Structure 1
Amino acid sequence: MVRITRQTVASCVLGLTSLGSLPCFGQLPADDPKLNTPSQQKAPNAFAEGSPKPVLNWGKGDGKSYWLTAFDIITFDVLLNRVDRYFVDKDEYNVTLDSIRRNVGGKWVVDNDPFAINQFGHPYQGSMYHGFARSAGLDYWQASAATLLGSLFWELAGETTAPSINDQFTTGIGGSFLGEPLFRMASLLLESGTGRPGVLREIAAALISPSTGFNRAAYGDRFDGVFRSHAPAVYTRVQLGVNFDADVSSNVNSNRTVGGPVIPQSYRNGEGTADFTIAYGLPGKPDYRYDRPFDYFHFQFTASTANVFENVITRGLLLGEPYSAGANVRGVWGLYGSYDYISPQIFRVSTTAGGLGTTNQWWLSRTIALQSTALASLGYGSAGAVRGAGERDYHNGIAPQGLLTSRLILGDRLSIEATLRDYYVGSLASKDTSGEENILRAEIGLTGRIYNLHGLTLKYTMSRRDASYVETGNTRQRVGVFSLAYSFLGQTRFGAVDWRPKLGEP
Structure 2
Amino acid sequence: MAKDIKKSRNGFESRRRACTALLALAAGTGNATSADDPLQDTVRDAAPAPPQDDRLYKSYGAAALEILGFQLVLNRVDHAFVRPDDYDVSIGSIRRNLRSSWVVDRDPFEINQLGHPYQGSVYFGLARSNGLTFWESMGYAFAGSAVWEIAGETTPPSRNDQITTSFGGTFLGEALYRMANLVLEEGYGLSPQWREVAAAAVSPPLGFNRHVAGGRRAALWASHSPAIYGRLQLGVGGITSNNVGPSLAPRRNEVAADFALDYGLPGQPDYTWRRPFDYFLFRVRLSNVQGVESLATRGMLFGAPYGSGRNLRGIVGLYGTYDYLAPQVFRVASTGLSLGSNAQLLLSDHYTLQGHASAGIGYTSTGTTSASTSGQYHYGFAPQAMLTLRLIGNERFAFELAALEFFDGKLTSAGPNGTDRVFRGDASLTWRVSGHHAVTLKYLTSRRTFAFENVPERQQRRDTVGLYYTYQFARGFGAVN
What TM-score do the two structures reach when normalised by structure 1? 0.85
Give the equivalent residue in structure 1 for 2:224: 230
Q: In structure 2, what residue type is equivalent to 1:3?
A: T
**Residue 441 of structure 2, aligned match among 440, 451, 458:** 458
Aligned residue for 1:26, secondary structure, equals helix
Q: In the alignment, is the contact (CA less than 8 A) between 2:51 and 2:222 conserved in 1? A: yes
Give the equivalent residue in structure 2 for 1:209: 203
Separation of aligned partners in 2, 1:247 and 1:161 = 41
Separation of aligned partners in 1, 2:374 and 2:169 = 24
**Residue 396 of structure 1, aligned match among 369, 372, 379:** 379
Are 1:54 and 2:51 matched, yes or no?
A: yes
Separation of aligned partners in 1, 2:457 and 2:242 = 17
Give the equivalent residue in structure 2 for 1:3: 33
Instruction: Give how far 1:492 is off.
Output: 2.8
Q: Residues 194, 168 of structure 1: CA spacing in aligned structure 2 closer, same or farther, 3 A cutoff?
A: closer
Separation of aligned partners in 1, 2:237 and 2:328 = 12
> What is the correspondence of 1:160-171 to structure 2 with a 5 Å cutoff?
160-171=154-165
Instruction: Give how far 1:470 is off.
Output: 2.3
Separation of aligned partners in 1, 2:424 and 2:318 = 23
Q: Residues 390, 95 of structure 1: CA spacing in aligned structure 2 closer, same or farther, 3 A cutoff?
A: farther
CA RMSD of aligned residues (A): 2.3
> What is the correspondence of 1:402-413 to structure 2 with a 5 Å cutoff?
402-413=385-396
**Residue 68 of structure 1, aligned match among 50, 62, 68:** 62
Q: Residues 479, 102 of structure 1: CA spacing in aligned structure 2 closer, same or farther, 3 A cutoff?
A: same
Instruction: Give how far 1:393 is off.
Output: 6.2
Instruction: Give how far 1:224 is off.
Output: 4.6
Q: In the alignment, is the contact (CA less than 8 A) between 1:115 and 1:393 conserved in 2? A: no
Separation of aligned partners in 2, 1:456 and 1:424 = 34
Instruction: Give how far 1:53 is off.
Output: 5.8
Q: Residues 298, 483 of structure 1: CA spacing in aligned structure 2 closer, same or farther, 3 A cutoff?
A: same
Instruction: Give how far 1:287 is off.
Output: 1.0
Q: In structure 1, what residue type is equivalent to 2:241?
A: D
**Residue 243 of structure 2, aligned match among 227, 230, 249:** 249
Give the equivalent residue in structure 2 for 1:322: 305
Identify which range, 388-397 or 302-311, moves more after superposition. 388-397
Q: Residues 135, 4 of structure 1: CA spacing in aligned structure 2 closer, same or farther, 3 A cutoff?
A: farther
Q: Residues 433, 452 of structure 1: CA spacing in aligned structure 2 closer, same or farther, 3 A cutoff?
A: same
- 1:474-493: per-residue Cα shift (whole Å, max 9, x none)? 52011111011000112232
Give the equivalent residue in structure 2 for 1:285: 268
Aligned residue for 1:73, secondary structure, equals helix
- 1:232-274: per-residue Cα shift (whole Å, max 9, x none)? 00111010010014311256xxxxxxxxxx43362212x1000
Give the equivalent residue in structure 1 for 2:358: 375
Moved over 4 A (4+): 193-197, 388-393
Instruction: Give how far 1:291 is off.
Output: 0.7
**Residue 449 of structure 1, aligned match among 424, 429, 432:** 432
Give the equivalent residue in structure 2 for 1:153: 147
Are 1:352 and 2:382 matched, yes or no?
A: no
Q: Residues 311, 390 of structure 1: CA spacing in aligned structure 2 closer, same or farther, 3 A cutoff?
A: farther
- 1:302-357: per-residue Cα shift (whole Å, max 9, x none)? 10011110011100000000100233000000000110111111111110010100
Instruction: Give how far 1:426 is off.
Output: 2.1
Q: Residues 202, 420 of structure 1: CA spacing in aligned structure 2 closer, same or farther, 3 A cutoff?
A: same
Instruction: Give how far 1:435 is off.
Output: 1.4
- 1:400-430: per-residue Cα shift (whole Å, max 9, x none)? 1001110000112111000111102422332
Structure 2 unmatched runs, 5+: 1-31
Q: In the alignment, is the contact (CA less than 8 A) between 1:248 and 1:267 conserved in 2? A: yes
Aligned residue for 2:216, secondary structure, equals coil
Separation of aligned partners in 2, 1:414 and 1:398 = 39
Q: In the alignment, is the contact (CA less than 8 A) between 1:460 and 1:483 conserved in 2? A: yes
| Greater share of helix | 2
Separation of aligned partners in 1, 2:244 and 2:295 = 25
Give the equivalent residue in structure 1 for 2:41: 27
Separation of aligned partners in 2, 1:421 and 1:137 = 34
Q: In the alignment, is the contact (CA less than 8 A) between 1:290 and 1:321 conserved in 2? A: yes
Aligned residue for 1:27, secondary structure, equals helix
Aligned residue for 2:40, secondary structure, equals coil
Q: Residues 73, 392 of structure 1: CA spacing in aligned structure 2 closer, same or farther, 3 A cutoff?
A: farther
Q: In the alignment, is the contact (CA less than 8 A) between 1:417 and 1:446 conserved in 2? A: yes
Give the equivalent residue in structure 1 for 2:21: none
Separation of aligned partners in 2, 1:388 and 1:88 = 23
Separation of aligned partners in 1, 2:178 and 2:382 = 27
Instruction: Give how far 1:218 is off.
Output: 1.4
Are 1:428 and 2:428 matched, yes or no?
A: no
Separation of aligned partners in 2, 1:27 and 1:355 = 39
Are 1:297 and 2:280 matched, yes or no?
A: yes
Separation of aligned partners in 1, 2:349 and 2:49 = 41
Q: In the alignment, is the contact (CA less than 8 A) between 1:112 and 1:392 conserved in 2? A: no
- Between Structure 1 and Structure 2, whose CA radius of gyration is higher? 1
Are 1:123 and 2:117 matched, yes or no?
A: yes
What TM-score do the two structures reach when normalised by structure 2? 0.89
Q: In the alignment, is the contact (CA less than 8 A) between 1:382 and 1:425 conserved in 2? A: no
Instruction: Give how far 1:216 is off.
Output: 1.0
Q: In the alignment, is the contact (CA less than 8 A) between 1:332 and 1:358 conserved in 2? A: yes
Give the equivalent residue in structure 2 for 1:32: none
**Identity percentage of aligned residues:** 44
Aligned residue for 2:384, secondary structure, equals strand
Q: Residues 299, 390 of structure 1: CA spacing in aligned structure 2 closer, same or farther, 3 A cutoff?
A: farther
Separation of aligned partners in 2, 1:245 and 1:109 = 39
Instruction: Give the length in aligned residue pairs.
Output: 450
**Residue 464 of structure 2, aligned match among 478, 481, 487:** 481
Separation of aligned partners in 2, 1:364 and 1:404 = 19
Instruction: Give how far 1:369 is off.
Output: 0.4
Q: In the alignment, is the contact (CA less than 8 A) between 2:34 and 2:476 conserved in 1? A: no
Aligned residue for 2:167, secondary structure, equals helix
Q: Residues 195, 344 of structure 1: CA spacing in aligned structure 2 closer, same or farther, 3 A cutoff?
A: closer
Identify which range, 173-182 or 317-326, moves more after superposition. 317-326
Q: In the alignment, is the contact (CA less than 8 A) between 2:131 and 2:218 conserved in 1? A: no
- 1:344-390: per-residue Cα shift (whole Å, max 9, x none)? 11111110010100000000111100001000010101112101699
Q: In the alignment, is the contact (CA less than 8 A) between 2:343 and 2:355 conserved in 1? A: yes
Q: Residues 406, 204 of structure 1: CA spacing in aligned structure 2 closer, same or farther, 3 A cutoff?
A: same
Q: Residues 467, 76 of structure 1: CA spacing in aligned structure 2 closer, same or farther, 3 A cutoff?
A: same
Give the equivalent residue in structure 1 for 2:474: 491
> What is the correspondence of 1:64-143 to structure 2 with a 5 Å cutoff?
64-89=58-83, 91-143=85-137
Q: Residues 128, 265 of structure 1: CA spacing in aligned structure 2 closer, same or farther, 3 A cutoff?
A: closer
Identify which range, 291-300 or 489-498, moves more after superposition. 489-498
Q: In structure 2, what residue type is equivalent to 1:78?
A: L
Q: Residues 181, 158 of structure 1: CA spacing in aligned structure 2 closer, same or farther, 3 A cutoff?
A: same
Instruction: Give how far 1:189 is off.
Output: 1.1
Give the equivalent residue in structure 1 for 2:402: 419
Are 1:180 and 2:194 matched, yes or no?
A: no
Q: In structure 1, what residue type is equivalent to 2:55?
A: G
